[in-house]
Amino acid sequence: MFLLLAGMTAVGAVTTKAQCLDAAREAALAASRGEAGTAAGARTAPPGAVVTVSLDGEVVTATVRAPVRALGARLPQLTVSATAVAAVEPGAPEAQP
């Protein structure tokens, strides 16, 4: 039974990780084009996720962190994160977090 719960939690964590990566990619690309990156990432992020976007010179970095609910009351809560980086596009308005 424990192995089943652990396996289902692992599948949930992998799925959430993929959603975080997709949201981070969307946020970084939107911010590099001068759009609101945090809002773009939040639209595709899993529930309960935190999206952060930072600008360092000509590089935009977006990070998405989301909790993974462990199946089973006694298992610790997991947090997965994903980061994406994009170069600021030439001629685009000021990159926005």
pLDDT tens digits, one per residue of 15-52: 999 999 999 999 999 998 888 889 999 999 999 999 99
Q: Which secondary structure element, helix H or strand E, spans residue 13, and what is its range?
A: helix 2-32
Residue-level pLDDT at 13:
87
In this predicted structure, what is the pLDDT of residue 43? 92
Predicted pLDDT of residue 24:
96
Between CA 52 and CA 23 the distance in angstroms is 11
| Share of residues in the chain with pLDDT > 90 (%) | 52
Distance CA 80, CA 97 (A): 21
Tell me what pLDDT residue 35 has.
Answer: 87
How far is Cα 10 from Cα 31, in angstroms, rounded to an integer? 31
